[in-house]
Amino acid sequence: MWNKHQVVEHIIGKQREQAKAKGKAFAPSNIALCKYWGKRDAELNLPVTSSLSVSLHHLGTVTEIMRATEKDHIVLNGIELDEHEPFAKRLITFLDLYRPHPEFKFKVNTSNNIPTAAGLASSASGFAAMVLALDDFFAWNLSLQDLSILARMGSGSAARSLMNGFVLWQAGSRSDGMDSFAKSLDIEWPEFRIGVLTLSDLEKSKSSRQAMTETINTSILYKSWPAQVSRDLDRLLTAIQNKDIQLCGETAEQNALSMHATMIASWPPTLYWLAETVSTLNRVWEMRKQGIPVYITMDAGPNVKLIFEKNISTKIQNVFKCEIIAPFASFSNLNFHKRER
């Protein structure tokens, strides 16, 4: 079993000299259609199962990295954080893996255009942008596979935030995690839409990391989770290949609700839902009864994301106040492109 330092040593070796004055990168947030819920190794964030996501195009994190003197500086959305704040501590511990020597200090300027900690996976885009910015700063020029492995060690879901469109994170089986990384599915579905409803942007009551651990340790329902994922991944791959919104939406919705069922059945129980979450679910189910093909997914928070196709965008906007993301739109205004390495 490797620790994080051994993985970093294996991937970047001795290439730790500062090559540029500044490194900068954008990474998108992602929403899983088949969820990552549970780890087989907490040190390396190795998952119990594979997962499949779609990246949220321009919604995500921009991170700049420079060299600092004396101490690390972490600036989040324009505000310098105290180094003892949990978020700053988490980033500083991650940066420890990459210092050329212990006295080497970083200035990190990171900005999200999504609500932090509201179940919109900002840790995913945060650690992915951090790894991409480090790659730029130190001029490592790593493959997306290696960058995905490094991002995973910051936050599991970050492994999926290095690429656009549909992304599959293979769980892998090795104890060093070198086969646990994400890959683009390379399938375009231009009509595919995600509607992001922000019902609450309050900090969530329990981290997904803690909720996952409690679920694995105490929820008898979790025993059925790997079988659920295996079935759902097969269905989702077929649905995406065939651009079948009904199969895709029904599978993603059942997968998300099953994940929540496992955590509701844990002890202490985790219920991220608010009254607004439940009323949104009811409204979506009512729309489906009227023949409108809209589906939901949810992460570790109270917010709901809608899954549908472009042709019903107006109907969705008439009912919900939501931001509609077109994951396969072009990227003319962003410095983030599908990269071939």
Residue from the set 49, 61, 112, 157 that interacts with ligand 2P0 by CB under 6 A: 157
Residue from the set 63, 109, 208, 251 that interacts with ligand 2P0 by CB under 6 A: 208
CA pair distance 251, 246, nearest whole angstrom: 8
- The stretch near ligand 2P0 (CB under 6 A) out of 60-68, 116-124, 134-142, 174-182 is 116-124
The contact pattern for ligand 2P0, residues 280-299, with x = CB under 6 A and - = no contact, is -------------------x
Residue from the set 112, 155, 161, 255 that interacts with ligand 2P0 by CB under 6 A: 155
Closer CB to ligand 2P0, 268 or 291, in the complex: 268
The contact pattern for ligand 2P0, residues 301-340, with x = CB under 6 A and - = no contact, is ----------------------------------------
Q: Does 149 bind ligand 2P0 (CB under 6 A)?
A: no
Residue from the set 65, 76, 144, 300 that interacts with ligand 2P0 by CB under 6 A: 300
Write out the chain in H/E/C secondary structure.
Answer: CCCHHHHHHHHHCCCCCCCCCEEEEEEEEEEEEECCCCEEECCCCEECCCEEEEEEEEEEEEEEEEEECCCCEEEECCEECCCCCHHHHHHHHHHHHHCCCCCCEEEEEEEECCCCCCCCCHHHHHHHHHHHHHHHHCCCCCCHHHHHHHHHHHCHHHHHCCCCCEEEECCCCCCCCCCCCEEECCCCCCCEEEEEECCCCCCCCCCHHHHHHHHHHHCHHHHHHHHHHHHHHHHHHHHHHHCCHHHHHHHHHHHHHHHHHHHHCCCCCCCCCCHHHHHHHHHHHHHHHCCCCCEEEECCCCCEEEEEEHHHHHHHHHHCCCEEECCCCCCCCCCCCCCCC
Closer CB to ligand 2P0, 25 or 151, in the complex: 151
In the window 21-50, what residues touch ligand 2P0 (CB under 6 A)?
A: 32, 35-37, 45
Closer CB to ligand 2P0, 128 or 316, in the complex: 128
Comparing every residue's Cβ against ligand 2P0, the nearest one is 156
Closer CB to ligand 2P0, 7 or 32, in the complex: 32
Site for ligand 2P0, rule CB under 6 A: 32, 35-37, 45, 51, 121, 123-124, 155-157, 208-209, 299-300
